[in-house]
Structure formats: structure tokens, C-alpha cells
Amino acid sequence: MRKKIIAANWKMFKNPKESLDFLDAFLPMVEGHDRDDILIFPTATSLSTVIDKVAETRVRAGAQTMHWLNEGPFTGQTSPTMLTSIGCTHVLLGHSERRLYANESYEHVNLKLKAAVAHDIAPVLCLGEMLADRQTGYTKDTLLAQMGAALANLPAEKMETLVIAYEPVWAIGTGSSATPEVADQAHAMIREELHARFGPVCAHQTRILYGGSVKPDNVSQILKMPNIDGALIGGASLDPGSLAAMVHYEL
């Protein structure tokens, strides 16, 4: 059994004070919750505050992106060693908003993935097709191309901490998620490709999260699907009661 992950992507919301207010309300609601892993991805300026606040709990926090080099003249970037220096354990890579608005390519994501595993930062690799890809029957080709570029030249033994988030771009922030069946089908394709690339152990162990308009009222249906090992949640993760309700999803 793969332990499920409930992950909150806070995007560009919540300063340190707002993050602490959230955690003051949220942490007691999930105290002792051991069934699932809980991850929070705050914005860069709140990351250190959140990491310190959750240190004594089971909740972990990660960065929303990073550079692949340790230092250099790269204005605005954060390096893997800077993240590990503040106790950061996870990083989101290749989120579609970074692909759309920050020109991030899967070739860059590949460099970042290699750097993440080299520094023991668990990568959460985001994949997902645009609406046009789905409408024209190119979902599978798109996902395979994204995986091909992002996972190039990575050996199976480096994949132990890899988490994948399938996030169809047309479902992100739109209020209408993929149906559990449609999502599960995409997850099955991704798992098949992991099998082809890295073998049965990796395919079996890797947790594949679904993201795109997950809310308290659809999370249980989505998490019931056999290939779905958790959720990456944006909008609905910003309220402590809403995120806690999703952590306590019904099996």
C-alpha cells in the first residue's frame, strides 16, 4: 500500500504572519494524523517560518521551485543548498504556472530534478496536458513527452523519493476537476511509463498525486481510485478547515 499524500500548493498567497495564523488553526486539527503524509508548499518568503513551525509535527514543507546550481549570478533564484540549509525536504518542479508564466521547460525541470535528488530534496514532478491536447487526443503523447524530457538520464535508484503530480492544466483553478475515472486513466498511463523506464519496483512505489480543483466535496471520490495516491491542492488548501477536511477524507 502506498501512503497517500495530501499536499497544499499555496502559490503566491500567505505572508509569514498569515502562514503562522493558518498553522495555529490547522495543526491541532491534524494532530496525530498518521494515515497520510501532509505537505505544504508556501511561498519563498514564508518557507522558513513554516518549516520551523511544523518541525515538531508530522507535516513537512517544501519550496515551489528552485534552481539547479548551488550559487551563481542568477537574480531571483534559490538554490538546492539554500533550501537544505533551512531544513527544506521537498520541492515542486515543473508546475504548469511556472511553465506558462516563467518559461520553464522540461529540460530545465530535468536539471532541477537531478539537483534535487543529489541534495536529498524529494521532488514532486508536475505533469499535465492542456485542454487542446486532450481535445485532439494527444493527452498520452503529451504526458510521455513531458516524462521523457523531465526524467532523461535519471537512473532508477535515484527515483526512490520521486512523487509525480498529474495536473491537467484545464482543471487547475477552474473549479471543475477531472472526473476520478479520467484522472485514474492518466495516472495508469504515467505508472506504465514508470514501469517501462525504471522497472516494476519504481512503478509500484511511486506516488502519483492528482491536482486540479480538488475540494473537500470531491477529494474522497478522487482518492478512491486505484492509481491515485494523493492530491495536490491549490485554492482549497488556503483555508485551514478546508485543508483539514481533505486530510480527513473518507476512504
- Which chain residues interact with ligand PGA by CB under 6 A? 9, 167, 172-173, 211-214, 232-236
Nearer to ligand PGA, 106 or 170 (CB): 170
Q: How far is the CB of 7 from ligand PGA (least distance, A)?
A: 8
Paired strand residues for 28: none
* Residue 75, number of CB atoms within 10 A of its CB: 4
Among candidate residues 97, 104, 129, 167, the one labeled active-site is 167
Which of residues 79 and 242 has its CB atom nearest to ligand PGA in the complex? Answer: 242
User: Does the annotation mark 95 as catalytic?
Assistant: yes
Under 8 Å between Cβ of 94 and 104? yes
* Minimum CB distance to ligand PGA smaller for 62 or for 235: 235
- Convert the chain into a string of H (helix), E (strand) and C (coil): CCCCEEEEECCCCCCHHHHHHHHHHHHHHCCCCCCCEEEEECCHHHHHHHHHHHCCCCCEEEECCCCCCCCCCCCCCCCHHHHHHCCCCEEEECCHHHHHHCCCCHHHHHHHHHHHHHCCCEEEEEECCCHHHHHCCCHHHHHHHHHHHHCCCCCHHHCCCCEEEECCHHHCCCCCCCCHHHHHHHHHHHHHHHHHHHCHHHHHHCEEEEECCCCCCCHHHHHCCCCCCEEEECHHHCCHHHHHHHHCCCC
Q: Give residue number: closest CB to ligand PGA.
A: 234
CB nearer to ligand PGA: pick between 59 and 202: 59
What's the min distance (Å) between Cβ of 201 and ligand PGA?
27
From 67, 90, 95, 187, the catalytic residue:
95
Q: How far is the CB of 94 from ligand PGA (least distance, A)?
A: 11
- Residue 75 C-beta: closest distance to ligand PGA, Å: 25
CA distance 235 to 250: 20
The least CB distance from residue 64 to ligand PGA, in Å, is: 10
Q: Which is nearer to ligand PGA, 79 or 96 (CB)?
A: 96
Q: So which residues are the catalytic ones?
A: 95, 167
